[in-house]
C-alpha cells in the first residue's frame, strides 16, 4: 500500500478561492440593489451563458431538474407522449419525463456510456415525441446520429447537466439539439453556491414559454397567461455563475489534463478500463469513470485508503424502486446493467495535484 493521504472526491474550495474576491463583490451588489430573484445579475448571466453555448436564449431556473421539466413542458411534451432516454443516467432525466406526464422509454447505452443510437431507432413508435440526449460524464451524446434516425419532427432535448463547455465536432453542447437543460448544482463543472439551472434554445417561442412557465405563467407581475410555477434563478447564484463562467474553459482544461495524467498512470493495466472518448468529442470530464472487475472490493479499498471514490450510478433507471411502474425487469438493458456493476468514479476536479493522482492510481492498482 502506498503511504496514506486523503484525496476528496471533489474540492470546491479550490474554485471558490479563485473567484472569492470577485464573487463577494458581485454578491454585495445583488444585496445592495435587492436584486434577489432574476434581476440584473440573472439577465447578465443569461446573456453570457447563451453566448458561451452559442444559442439565442438562456433562461435561468431553480435547478437542473426543473430545467428539464420546463423544457419538456414548453415544447408541449406531456401526457400521451413517449420520451426515449438512456437507462444509465441520473434519476432526474427520467423524473422530469414522468413529472410532465409523459412515458419514459428507456434504451441501452454503448461502451462510451452514451445512449445507443440503434437502441433509439428500435424504440421509436408513433407516440415518440422526444429523445433526451444525456451528455453523460462530460462528453456529448451523438446528437447528429440521433437526428438522422429520428428525423426533424421529434424533439431532441440535451441533458447538458454534466457537459458545460464540452464540444462535439467543434460545436458547443447546449446548442446541438432543439432545446437543452443544464444544472448548476455546486459540483457540476459550472456550479453555483446552491441550486440553479438553465434552459437553452434557439427557438424564440419555446424560450418565451419557459420565461413564463418559470414565473407563474407570466412575465409581468399578476399576468398569468399559462399555468406556470415558481422556478427562477436567484440573483446571488447568477452573480457567482458569472464569476465562474470566466474560468470555465481553463478549469475544463485542467480536468482534461488530469484525465490525461490518470491515463498515463493507469495505461497498460488491462485490469482497468479507461473512459472512452467518442470520435469528434471534446470531453470535459465532469466525472472520470473507469471500469474494474470486483468493483465493490475496489471501492471499499479506495474508501479505506482515504480516497473519495463514487459510483455514477449504482442502478440503471429501470431497477430503481421509483421506476418500478415501467415494468422493465433485470436483464432488459444488459450493457447498462453490466456497467453499473463495474464503474468507479475517481477523484476529478480542477486543482487535483499530481501527487494526489499518483496516490489514487497506485492505490487502485494495489487493489486489483
Ligand X SMILES: *Cc1c(COP(=O)(O)O)cnc(C)c1O
Q: Look-up: residue for cell 479499498?
A: 301
Identified binder of ligand X from the candidate list 7, 38, 132, 161, rule CB under 6 A: 161
Give SS3 for 333: coil
* Triad 276, 15, 361: Cα angle to 5°: 40
Cα–Cα distance measured from residue 186 to residue 159, given in angstroms and rounded to the nearest whole number: 17
Q: By CB under 6 A, which span of 159-167, 217-225, 241-249, 258-266 interacts with ligand X?
A: 159-167
Distance CA 82, CA 129 (A): 6
Q: How far is the CB of 173 from ligand X (least distance, A)?
A: 12
Closer residue to ligand X, CB minimum distance, 311 or 368? 311
Instruction: Name residue, grid cell 433507471.
Output: 317
Shortest Å, Cβ 18 to ligand X: 22
Number of residues lying near ligand X (CB under 6 A) = 15
> Phi, psi at residue 197, to the nearest 5°?
-165, 180
Q: Does residue 65 belong to the site contacting ligand X (CB under 6 A)?
A: yes
Based on DSSP, count helices (H) and strands (E) in the chain, helices before strands.
12, 13
Window 180-209: residues binding ligand X (CB under 6 A): 183, 185, 195, 197
Q: Which stretch binds ligand X (CB under 6 A): 63-71, 79-87, 118-126, 330-338?
A: 63-71
The residue among 360, 332, 348 whose CA lies nearest residue 275 is 348
Q: Which of 119, 153, 152 is nearest to 134 (CA)?
A: 119
**Binding of ligand X by 237 (CB under 6 A):** no
Q: How far is the CB of 181 from ligand X (least distance, A)?
A: 7
The stretch near ligand X (CB under 6 A) out of 99-107, 154-162, 172-180, 324-332 is 154-162
Q: Give the pairing type, strands 103-107 and 179-183.
A: unpaired
Percent helix, strand and coil across the chain, each to the nearest 5: 45, 15, 40
Binding mask 82-121 for ligand X (x = CB under 6 A): -------xx-xx----------------------------
Closest distance between ligand X and the C-beta of residue 325, in Å?
Answer: 20
Give residues 131-150 in contact with ligand X (rule: CB under 6 A): 134
What is the contact surface with ligand X in residues (CB under 6 A)?
A: 63-65, 89-90, 92-93, 134, 159, 161-162, 183, 185, 195, 197
Amino acid at each position: 500500500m502506498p503511504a496514506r493521504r486523503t484525496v476528496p472526491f471533489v474540492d470546491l474550495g479550490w474554485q471558490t478561492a479563485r473567484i472569492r474576491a470577485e464573487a463577494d463583490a458581485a454578491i454585495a451588489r445583488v444585496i445592495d440593489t435587492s436584486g434577489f430573484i432574476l434581476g440584473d445579475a440573472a439577465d447578465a448571466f443569461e446573456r453570457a451563458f447563451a453566448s458561451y453555448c452559442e444559442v439565442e436564449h438562456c433562461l435561468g431556473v431553480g435547478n437542473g431538474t426543473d430545467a428539464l421539466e420546463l423544457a419538456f413542458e414548453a415544447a408541449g411534451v406531456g401526457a400521451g407522449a413517449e420520451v426515449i432516454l438512456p437507462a444509465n443516467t441520473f434519476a432526474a432525466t427520467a423524473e422530469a419525463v414522468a413529472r410532465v406526464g409523459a412515458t419514459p422509454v428507456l434504451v441501452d447505452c454503448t461502451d462510451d456510456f452514451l445512449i445507443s443510437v440503434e437502441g433509439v431507432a428500435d424504440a421509436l413508435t408513433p407516440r415518440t415525441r422526444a429523445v433526451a440526449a444525456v451528455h453523460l460524464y462530460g462528453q456529448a451524446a451523438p446528437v447528429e446520429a440521433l437526428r438522422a434516425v429520428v428525423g426533424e419532427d421529434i424533439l431532441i432535448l440535451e441533458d447538458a447537466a454534466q457537459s458545460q463547455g464540452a464540444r462535439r465536432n467543434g460545436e458547443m453542447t447546449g446548442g446541438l439539439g432543439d432545446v437543452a437543460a443544464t444544472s448548476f448544482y455546486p459540483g457540476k463543472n459550472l456550479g453555483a453556491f446552491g441550486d440553479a439551472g438553465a434552459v437553452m434554445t434557439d427557438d424564440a417561442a419555446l424560450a418565451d414559454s419557459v420565461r413564463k412557465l418559470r414565473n407563474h405563467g407570466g412575465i409581468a407581475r399578476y399576468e398569468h397567461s399559462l399555468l406556470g410555477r415558481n422556478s427562477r434563478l436567484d440573483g446571488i447564484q447568477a452573480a457567482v455563475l458569472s464569476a465562474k463562467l470566466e474560468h470555465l474553459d481553463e478549469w475544463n482544461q485542467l480536468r482534461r489534463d488530469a484525465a490525461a495524467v490518470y491515463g498515463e498512470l493507469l495505461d497498460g493495466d488491462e485490469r482497468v478500463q479507461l473512459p472512452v472518448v467518442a470520435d469528434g468529442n471534446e470531453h470535459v470530464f465532469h466525472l472520470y469513470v473507469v471500469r474494474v472487475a470486483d468493483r465493490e472490493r475496489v471501492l471499499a479499498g479506495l474508501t479505506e485508503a482515504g480516497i473519495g471514490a463514487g459510483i455514477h450510478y449504482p442502478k440503471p433507471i429501470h431497477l430503481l424502486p421509483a421506476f418500478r411502474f415501467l415494468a422493465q425487469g433485470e436483464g432488459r438493458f444488459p450493457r447498462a446493467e453490466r456497467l453499473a456493476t463495474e464503474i468507479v468514479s475517481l477523484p476529478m476536479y480542477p486543482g487535483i495535484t499530481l501527487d494526489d493522482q499518483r496516490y489514487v492510481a497506485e492505490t487502485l492498482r494495489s487493489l486489483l
